[in-house]
Amino acid sequence: MPALACFVDTEFGSRDFANNINVAIENVESPQLWSPSQSASLYKIDRWGAPYFSVNSAGNIAVRPHGSETLTHQEIDLMKVVNKVLGSKTMGGLGLNLPLIVRFPDVLKNRLESLQSAFDSAIQSQGYESHYQGVYPVKCNQDGFIVEDVVKFGYPFRFGLEAGSKPELLLAMSSLCKGNPEALLVCNGYKDVEYISLVLVGRKLGFNTVIVLEQEEELDLVIDVSRRLDVSPVVGLRAKLRTKHEGHFGSTSGEKGKFGLTTIEILSVAKKLKQAGMLDCLQLLHFHIGSQIPSTSLLSDAVGEAAQIYCELVRLGAAMRVIDVGGGLGIDYEGSQSAYSDNSVGYGLREYASAVVQAIRQACDQKFVRHPVICSESGRALVSHHSILIFEALSAVGLETPDLGLHYFLDELTGDARSDYLNLTAAASRGEHEAFSFYVNQFKQCCIEKFKEGSLGLEHLAAADSVCELVAKAMGASDSVQTYHVNLSIFTSVPDSWGIGQQFPIVPIHRLDQQPRVKGILSDLTCDSDGKIDKFINGESSLLLHEFESKDNFGGYYLGMFLGGAYQEALGGLHNLFGRPNVVRVSHSDGHSFSVTKMVPGLSCGEVLKLMQHEPELMFKELKHRVEEHCGLDIEGQIDSSSIVTGLAHSFMNMPYLVTGSVCEISHCNEDGRHNDVAIIGGDNEQWTYCCA
């Protein structure tokens, strides 16, 4: 018998209707046993997250800082990190608020070592007669600590950096002061005289800089500036390959690609260098067919084509020694290991390295050319895993089941609305889902039309929605999706989500020992309809989440966005003036499970305003003057203007994001002893002052 059969009456006036429906809903939604391993499978954590993320027995996300070599006692409970960060300073916490970026340098170190190991293994197994030394393209994430880590962790492997602009070049040169002297500094991007001069000055300073020509016209500048500075340049070419990457990230590959030289231009550059007596300066060939190369077959085609160009340049007399296969080493955002998805790739690090080494070796052996040094610019694969964005759900909005007096609504229905209601309840009692859906839509439309005519009240319309949702839930046919409002700006922290539709794995970082039952989408703080995430990995239009519960009773509901360490911070904007979140660096500690080694506060309201050419000091001064003008006597007496001024100072000094549960009340007495409370937006009960010039 269908769940509703014993509850639906063909006559109106049943005041037990809502109670009966709720009983049926409880039967449909009765609790079931659930385990952390089921959550790991549901969210595919064991696929996209391996070997760095798992679910522990407490139902929390665990970080494995050393990858597959992480011992059980070395795992870091992500919720413990959050509690440490959010805890008050008096209790040993950091006193920060969400959103928060947590970086794990140990994961970055493991990624770099794993990439190096993959190439070393391929080189050894295939008898390749040179070596691999990669570079990190700083555009992926220019954070100073990340670049510093790459240089430090990469020192034993001669790991270098790649720059694509003048500020990135300055950053790279200063960072490589502590790097391996043999590390490459690959200089890509469009160039002017100043850029080229900086690169050549870098050679004078002992850096292994390489000028990669993006346009044929740049060669004339290189020749001229190098002669004036009396520096012999190392020149590279970026080849525009015919091999085309058909996915989203390969839109600029092929003959119509944005960057690189055609075969005609490559020959022209070689001829000009020979005429200038500088053909020996040409030493590197570079190409890039796009990020997230989906398969090793496409990779092999591209590398093979580039290797043939490399061999031809050797034949023409160039002193070639390095082939730079560019970026494109993808990561699996969705855990599908699919070569047919922009969010996945059909290979791992070892398969990638093996394909690159094999394609270059075969081409060079065919032409009897010495095996070159292999370089890659694998930024996404290096830094994506080590950063986690953590944010809080503030509320959830969906079709609720409030007591709207359903019997009152049922008793007053007439005409078509009454007939439609009878039909949908009859279909529900028989368990006819298609008929039920038809009559529900017809019933709702009828009620809306009557509301527009003025013959139904707002309570009736709300009750119509509620009763339809109630019956659908009781049938187990409800497909409602709740909107979880999150303390985040999509435009600042996840720009690729709205910009190119990139889907990142998003998962609750706790409560994973409980079954998630609510289909949800995420809506951010911005006043923009695009400020939402309603597309998730594996093509899902909603994300299974846990019932939202009051923070006062149960604590917050915390979500993490994973694999977002590349590009998101560099591309993030200031829409609605929401700035950079707080950042902490967390490392494994032998004495404790983890230690917070660095804390970088996010931008305050004042700092964000300053970035948009405002002057917070003068703004505060104007508002302070306004307070003095307008805060006179009210009905209850004198308002303490100093409390309002202090509140304004707090607002300038605090972050733009919402602070839940930390509104402090500053009380002051009037002359008659009564108290007025002035709410100050802020965190701890610290008194902030704001200096005015």
Cα–Cα distance for residue pair 4/130, rounded to 1 Å: 73
Cα–Cα distance for residue pair 596/101, rounded to 1 Å: 12
Helices (H), 340-432: 349-366, 379-383, 406-412, 415-429
- Return the number of other C-beta atoms located less than 10 Å from residue 608's C-beta: 21
Closest of 309, 321, 312 to residue 280, by C-alpha: 321
- Return the number of other C-beta atoms located less than 10 Å from residue 22's C-beta: 15
Q: Annotated active-site positions, please?
A: 527
What type of residue is 50? A
The tokens describing 584, both together, are 């902490």
The tokens describing 588, both together, are 């494994």
Helices (H), 367-486: 379-383, 406-412, 415-429, 433-453, 458-475
Question: Do residues 103 and 147 make contact, with C-beta atoms less than 8 angstroms apart?
Answer: no
The residue to which tokens 């539709």 are assigned: 501
In terms of phi and psi (left: phi > 0; alpha: psi -120 to 50; beta: otherwise), the region of 115 is alpha
Buried residues in 507-518 as b, exposed as e (16+ CB within 10 A): bbbbbbbbbbeb
Buried residues in 215-234 as b, exposed as e (16+ CB within 10 A): ebebbebbbebbeeeebebb
Closest of 444, 518, 529, 526 to residue 483, by C-alpha: 518
Question: Do residues 168 and 142 make contact, with C-beta atoms less than 8 angstroms apart?
Answer: yes
- Return the number of other C-beta atoms located less than 10 Å from residue 691's C-beta: 7
Buried residues in 561-584 as b, exposed as e (16+ CB within 10 A): bbbbbbbbbeebebbbbbbbbbbb
Q: Please state at what angle helix 218-229 crosses helix 263-275, rounded to 10 degrees.
A: 20
Cα–Cα distance for residue pair 98/85, rounded to 1 Å: 9
Closest of 322, 337, 219, 357 to residue 278, by C-alpha: 219
